[in-house]
Amino acid sequence: AQTVTQSQPEMSVQEAETVTLSCTYDTSESNYYLFWYKQPPSRQMILVIRQEAYKQQNATENRFSVNFQKAAKSFSLKISDSQLGDTAMYFCAFGVNQGGSEKLVFGKGTKLTVNP
Amino acid sequence: DAGITQSPRHKVTETGTPVTLRCHQTENHRYMYWYRQDPGHGLRLIHYSYGVKDTDKGEVSDGYSVSRSKTEDFLLTLESATSSQTSVYFCAISASGHGAFFGQGTRLTVV
């Protein structure tokens, strides 16, 4: 069974600074996907970034980037130039393609607060 | 928006009563999922569907049943609600490798 661990229950950062959220996972699969989701106080789950395990290049989406270390089973999220709107819960998730279905396994989340 | 609507958005019910949550999608996705979110647990998969009338259990399926009579609708039923089922419930659709797209969530309180 796959597991996802987020070791930082809470973090805070000053506006305009950079913050890194950690995620590790455990799996015996070789082909899988990793995701970071953002959940603001509105409760909506928003996909921030995705990474395909077979790609060595780290994914980036504007101010969001990941550091994917496949051998170490590590998938951290870096947020650059933090903004007040980045305040949210962040969830790391793991998925395996099984005949088109992709059941996700989530970490417990990291609560990020961006301070003015 | 991924075209996923959950109803109701909020519900308070009494212990022992049946409850049905509805998920409606307009994307014609084959795969649909129900997750629950609890503090300290992240999101956990309850049930999922891979087509009309085709469903299977997830990690925390005890006490829940699902049905899918049309591609666009996926229902989650609590046959006899208990306080441990107080949670936020999310419906999702996914295309493999692209991640899941979630509805707005339903906050269910069992008193």
Closest CA to B61 of B92, B40, B34: B34
- Chain A residues whose CB is inside 8 A of the B48 CB are 101, 103
8 Å CB contact between A43 and A55: no
Q: How far apart are CA A66 and CA A76, in angstroms?
A: 5
Report residue B10 as tokens: 């909020």
A43 vs B: CB within 8 A = yes
A76 near A67, Cβ under 8 Å?
yes
Using CB atoms within 10 A of its CB, is residue B51 exposed (0-12), middle (13-18) or buried (19+)? exposed
Q: What is the pLDDT of residue B21?
A: 98
Q: How far apart are CA B76 and CA B68, in angstroms?
A: 9
Residues of B in contact with A95 (CB under 8 A): 94, 96-97, 99-100
Measure B39 CA to nearest chain A CA, in Å: 8
Poorest-pLDDT segment among A97-101, B21-25, B58-62: A97-101
A3 CB within 8 Å of a chain B CB: no
* Rounded (5°) CA angle B23-B29-B30: 100
Distance from CA of B53 to the nearest CA of A (A): 15
pLDDT reported for residue A10: 97
Sign for the pseudo-dihedral over CA of B85, B95, A75, A62: negative
For the segment A59-112, what is each residue's pLDDT rounded down to a tens digit?
A: 999 999 999 999 999 999 999 999 999 999 999 999 988 777 888 999 999 999
Strands A33-39 and A10-14, how do they pair? Answer: unpaired
Residues of chain B in contact with residue A101, where contact means CB-CB under 8 angstroms, are 31, 48, 50, 94, 96
Q: Output the pLDDT for position B43.
A: 96
Say if the Cβ atoms of A102 and B102 lie within 8 Å.
no
Q: How far apart are the first and last CA of chain A?
A: 41
